[in-house]
Amino acid sequence: MKLTTAELAHIQTQLQAYAPAQRGVNRLIEHQGQLEAALDDLLVETYGAPAEFGKPSLWQVTRDVLRQELCSDEGFRGRIRAYVEKPQQATFLTGAIIYLVEQVALPFTLSPSLAALIVLYVSKVGLDIFCRYTEPAPPEA
């Protein structure tokens, strides 16, 4: 998932006054708008690389846990919808980031920088698509 040059510039402008998200924005710039690469990089920097070869990336594991938390959370859905409807309003973006940091229970502390990248990822792909895409496969009979 990649942000366009215009989207990346817009995000930089929107979040320039929100210092807690700057590490995430910087990672996004370093990875030229590649959201998954920026997420993986920031997660590894913060929590370290998976110890064993062949383990899923931290982003994959985080995404699975987020699915459980976000896909049934109407408060987060409302914030994402508000941001998607009016992406020019930075308050909707920072509101979604703050909500994610404060309300979503993950097994580790979610920094505003990571939350910013997650909110951008989910808003780019769409929450409904994110939820369906990350659904576990049904058990084989």
Report pLDDT digits (tens) over 93-133. Answer: 888 888 888 887 777 778 899 889 988 888 888 888 888 88
User: Distance between CA 87 and CA 7 in Å, rounded?
Assistant: 10
Give SS3 for 138: coil
- pTM (whole model) above 0.85: no
Q: Which residue has the tokens 């998954």?
A: 36
Whole-number Cα distances in Å, 95 to 81, 89, 102: 12, 10, 10
Average confidence (pLDDT) over 44-54? 71
Asked if the model's pLDDT at residue 41 lies above 90, the reply is no
Alpha-carbon span 132 to 116, nearest angstrom? 21
| CB distance 119 to 80 below 8 Å | yes
**CA–CA dist 32, 37 (Å, integer):** 9
